A and B are shown apart, each in its own frame.
Chain A
Amino acid sequence: MTKVTLTVNGRTMSGECEDRTLLVHFIREKLGLTGTHVGCDTTQCGACVIHMDGHSVKSCSILAVQASGSTITTIEGLAGQGELHPVQAAFKEHHGLQCGFCTPGMVMTAVDLIGREGGKLTEETVRAGLEGNICRCTGYHNIVKAILAADAEMAGGRQAAE
């Protein structure tokens, strides 16, 4: 067993695991943060997307030991004091989810995408940015709408702050 220490959603958290333990299982089973989902087991669906050191990654394709020492944000870390993150709020507003299983990965992907290309997203770039995320309810249309709305909202917020 190896000790893995991560900064998760602002808190330092540790746990023991086998070297072969996947990061997603560590997060769900050792840290009890079950918002990050396992949808496919074949690295294709993106339900397990989290941020590691500021970048979106698939936590089902990384070992927990590989991630040790890094800073992680999961879906549980997005909302502020009782207030949804603008991307979460936009998903709610635009009905960007049906069954909701893929939603944590979609939201984490959207936050990463807006962080990289915020303020200039188009339907095309959003769809390209969602290449690694699968929604089996085929709800992409409203997901794209929600992300564009969140981008506009956040760009407006940035302008207002400047």
Chain B
Amino acid sequence: MYATSYHRASSVEDAVKLKSANEEGKYLSGGMTLISTMKQRLAAPSDLIDLRHIPAIRGIRIEGRKVTIGAATPHADVAASRELAAICPAICKLAGHIGDPHVRHMGTIGGSIANNDPAADYPAGLLGLGATIVTDRRSISADDFFTGLFETALEEGEMVTSVTFEAPEKAGYAKFNNPASRFAMTGVFVASTAGGVRAAVTGAGSSGVFRHPGFEQALASNWSPDALNNVAVDPSNLMSDLHANAEYRANLVKVMAKRAVASAG
């Protein structure tokens, strides 16, 4: 790892100030991607601004059907939240299958979505739920937030502070994980929300997470796995890599979508 300077932020304002004072620096949340990347010398931020010790951005708040998850909330807390499981078990299940137990104790929702790994789970969950991403300066809908491979709508120095969403009527998530990395080779999150049916696919798209309008239309008229039987999945915008080619992923997308619907009940 190249040399770096560590700063521990005590508040959101403090973090943003530290970031603007250190242009080549990076925000550090759980570090489950960033530290590994730095160990391989694939990233070399001059400074790290640690966000794990800001109490205001940690924890899960539920008011009626409205869920707010602080950006520095670890996956394990989301997975284990009984209050959240009572109204949106799919997001708990999603969080409970990220990485492994040790990763879930450190990795955070804010870090995951700010990184926007094309095979990460949370982007599918938040896009599928139609969530809103709250930052230190504005609110961004999930539809506008995830813009490409490891790309988001975040501006330089902008920091995710929480995510919010309305608990859906029902939702489900299914992923086919890479047995070595446990990242999604394909994962599909489906939700029946007040704003309509949404289906988001991760791990497969060559531009990262995406919605599948064909699935959404089919499920809107008939919420059942069989409704997806005749919906085509176009492999032309899907990834091909050593784990799976685009045609294989196209098939996985449909299979995972059906399993996600089945799990939602």
Contact = CB atoms under 8 A, between A and B. Distances in A.
> Do A and B originate from a single complex?
yes
Interface of A: 2, 18-20, 22, 41-44, 46, 49, 52, 55-58, 60-63, 65-66, 109, 112-113, 116, 129, 131-133
Nearest to A50: B102
A2 B8 CA distance: 13
Given A42-B36, A61-B35, A61-B36, A66 B6 contact: yes
B3 A20 contact: yes
A109 B101 contact: yes
B101 A129 contact: yes
B180 A66 contact: no
A43 B181 CA distance: 10
B31 A62 contact: yes
Nearest to B53: A69
Contacts of B5: 19
B106 interface: yes
A19 B102 contact: no
Given A20-B3, A66-B6, A132-B100, A56 B39 contact: no
Contacts of A116: 80
A62 B106 contact: yes
A111 to B, nearest CB: 12
25 contacts: A2-B6, A20-B1, A20-B4, A22-B39, A41-B39, A42-B36, A42-B40, A43-B35, A43-B39, A44-B180, A44-B181, A46-B100, A46-B102, A49-B102, A57-B105, A58-B102, A61-B31, A61-B35, A61-B39, A62-B35, A62-B106, A63-B35, A63-B48, A131-B99, A132-B99
